[in-house]
Amino acid sequence: MRRIINAFTNISLFGREETKSGDVLLENAVNSPDETGIWLKFVVISDTHEEMAKIMNRIPDGDVLIHCGDFTNHGDEERVREFNDQLAQLPHRRKVVIAGNHENGFDAQFYEKAKLLTACELLNDTSIEIEGIKLYGSSWHTMNYRLFSTPPFYCEPGEETREKWAKIPDNVDILITHQPPKGFLDGRYGDVELLKAVEARNPKFHCFGHVHGWLRGGEQRENDFHQRSSVQGFWGISSTRPPIVFYFKVPGS
C-alpha cells in the first residue's frame, strides 16, 4: 500500500488527541502504528507562505517534520531567516524541507541560500536516511506563470522533467516534491513524468503541495499504483486545514 500526502486536503480525523500550548489537537493521521516494532511519527505541512506564525500552536509534535516548499512568497532573506527561527522553535527532532517555486534564488544560489536554514535539512535532488527510512526531496515543477522571467525550479514538461525525476532513487521510502503527480489532487497542474517516476519506484509515501485550492480534486484510484489515501497536507493561510500525520515503521524493528 502506498499513500499520497498532499499538503492541502482534509481527511477524516483519527480520535487521537494531543495537548500543545493549551490547545487540544485532533491528529489528522492517514494511518496508525501497531504494537510491533518502533514507529516514527511524520508531520507534513506545505505552502505556508510566510504565515507560519498563525499555525505554530497547531502543528502536532512528532519525530520528523516535512515541509514541501513555498515557505516564503519571494525568497527574501529576512523571511527565510524568520522561517528558520520558527522551525527552531518546533520540537521535532528532525526537520526536512524542500524549496518551492516561490523561493527565489534557491535554484541558482542554492548553497548560499541553504546556509540561512540552520534548523532543518534542506533537500535539493538529494537523499537523507532517518533510522533506515530513506527520504528524497526535489523542488522541480512545470508551472511557468511569469511573463518576463521563469520561476525558480521551473522545468519544461517532457524530456526536461523526465531527466529531473530520473534522479529519484529506486529504493526511496518517502518522496517529497513540490509539484503533484498528474491526476492526483493537482488541479490539472500535475506532471505526468512525475507520475511515471512514482509508479516506477513505488515509494511508501509521496508528500507534495503547490496547488492550494484543490481540496478534494484529483482521483483516488485503486489499482497497482494507487491503493492509498490521497491527502493534501496544509496551507498555513487557511485556519481549517490541519497538518497531515503519518507513521512509518523503522525497518528491522
Strand order in the sheet with 230-231: 126-130, 133-138, 174-177, 205-208, 3-6, 230-231
Please state the pTM of the whole predicted model: 0.83
DSSP 90: S
Q: How confident is the model at residue 209 (pLDDT cuts 50, 70, 90)?
A: confident
Q: Are 239 and 226 in contact (CB under 8 A)?
A: no
pLDDT reported for residue 185? 60
DSSP 165: H
* Domains defined along the chain, listed by start: 3-249 (3.60.21.10)
Say which residue the cell 500535475 belongs to.
190
pLDDT reported for residue 211? 67
Higher model confidence: residue 238 or residue 248?
248
Residue 126: beta bridge partners?
Answer: 137
Q: Give the separation between CA 233 and CA 100, rounded to whole angstroms.
A: 15
pLDDT reported for residue 4? 52
CA-CA-CA-CA torsion sign (63, 75, 109, 153): positive
Neighbours of 128 (CB within 10 A): 14
Please state whether beta strands 23-26 and 39-45 pair in parallel, antiparallel, or not at all (unpaired). Answer: unpaired
Q: Give the separation between CA 47 and CA 63, rounded to whole angstroms.
A: 21
Does position 214 have pLDDT exceeding 80, yes or no? no
Say which residue the cell 503541495 belongs to.
209
Residues near 83 by Cβ (< 8 Å), separated by ≥ 6? 48, 50, 52, 71, 72, 117
Instruction: Indicate the helix (H) or strand (E) that contains 77.
Output: helix 77-89
**3 state DSSP class of 52:** helix
Does position 227 have pLDDT exceeding 50, yes or no? no
Range 77-84 average pLDDT? 96
Q: Are 208 and 178 in contact (CB under 8 A)?
A: yes
Higher model confidence: residue 7 or residue 194?
194
